[in-house]
Amino acid sequence: MYLTAGLGVEASKSTIRSIQPEESQASTPHTARRAPETAAESENAQDHPNGVKMSNQNLSTSQAPDHGLDTWRQLHIDQQPTWSEHEDFESTIAELNSVPPLVFAGEVDAMRQALGEVAEGRAFLLQGGDCAETFAGATADKISGRVKTILQMSAVLTYGASMPVVKMGRMAGQFSKPRSADMETRGDITLPSFRGETVNGFDFTPEARVHDPKRMLRGYHTSASTLNLVRAFTKGGFADLRAVHQWNRGFTSNPAHERYEKTASEIGRALKFMEACGVNFEALKTTDMYVGHEALVMDYERALTRIDSRTQLPYDTSAHFLWIGERTRGVNDAHVDFLSKVRNPIGVKLGPTTTAEDALALIDKLDPNREPGRLTFITRMGAKNIREKLPAIVEGVQAEGAKVVWVTDPMHGNTISVPSGYKTRRFDDVLDEVRGFFEVHEALGSFPGGIHVEMTGDDVTECLGGSDAIDEAALADRYESLCDPRLNHSQSLEIAFLVSEYLKNRA
CB contact at 8 A, 381 and 433? yes
Diameter of the chain by CA atoms? 81
Measured between alpha carbons, how far is 178 from 195 in angstroms, rounded to an integer? 6
CB contact at 8 A, 445 and 397? no
Residue 354 phi/psi, 5-degree rounding, is: -65, 140
Instruction: Specify binding-site residues.
Output: 131, 170, 326-327, 349, 380, 412, 454, 484
3-class DSSP state of 96: helix
For residue 323, what are the β-bridge partners? 294, 347
Instruction: Specify binding-site residues for phosphoenolpyruvate.
Output: 170, 326-327, 349, 380
Q: Are strands 16-18 and 305-308 parallel, antiparallel or unpaired?
A: antiparallel
Angle (nearest 5°) at CA 370 between 313 and 341? 30
CA distances from 419 to 8, 168, 424, 471 (A): 52, 35, 11, 13
Q: 337 CB contacts (<8 Å, ≥6 apart)?
A: 71, 72, 75, 365
Q: 457 CB contacts (<8 Å, ≥6 apart)?
A: 142, 144, 145, 146, 147, 148, 149, 489
Q: Which helix (H) or strand (E) holds 93?
A: helix 86-98
Instruction: Specify binding-site residues for Mn(2+).
Output: 131, 412, 454, 484
Q: Express the helix, strand and coil content of the chain in percent, nearest 5 each.
A: 40, 15, 45
Closest CA to 422 of 470, 484, 469, 467: 484
- Tell how many helices (H) and how many strands (E) occur in the chain: 13, 17
CB contact at 8 A, 365 and 385? no
Q: Which helix (H) or strand (E) holds 396?
A: helix 386-400
Measured between alpha carbons, how far is 289 from 1 in angstroms, rounded to an integer? 8
